[in-house]
Amino acid sequence: MPPDGVAFLHDPLTVAALFPGAWLTLRDARLAYAIKGDLFRLRPASDGRVARASVAVDGAAFERFFVDRVGRFLARRSGPHAHAK
């Protein structure tokens, strides 16, 4: 693990970006990529491709959104007909 490696909820945040919410700020940005060692990196570049990028996250609001969505999913799966086929 590289020294700057962290373990945040990037995958759930990426999927959650498909749902509108004030907890996530998206902007168009020109980005270029590079692979350094085994890591994929994005960087701002005037000659890069335009991409919609997350530039800010309200962590507490995202946590509430995430826990609510997962909780509702689990509640549906454990309902009275959850095991009926």
Are 48 and 57 spatial neighbours (Cβ–Cβ below 8 Å)?
Answer: no
Q: Is residue 20 part of a domain?
A: yes
Q: Is residue 30 part of a domain?
A: yes
Task: Give the range of the structural domain holding residue 58, as residue numbers without chain letter.
Answer: 10-77
**What's the pLDDT score for residue 78?**
84
Using DSSP bridges, classify how beta strands 39-44 and 49-57 pair: parallel, antiparallel or unpaired. unpaired
- In the chain, the number of structural domains is 1
Please write the tens of the pLDDT for every residue from 30-81. 999 999 888 899 899 999 999 998 889 998 999 899 899 999 999 998 876 6
Q: Is residue 65 part of a domain?
A: yes
pTM for the predicted model, two decimal places = 0.61
Q: Is residue 84 part of a domain?
A: no
Q: Residue 85: which pLDDT band, with cuts at 50, 70 and 90?
A: very low
Q: Residue 17: which pLDDT band, with cuts at 50, 70 and 90?
A: confident
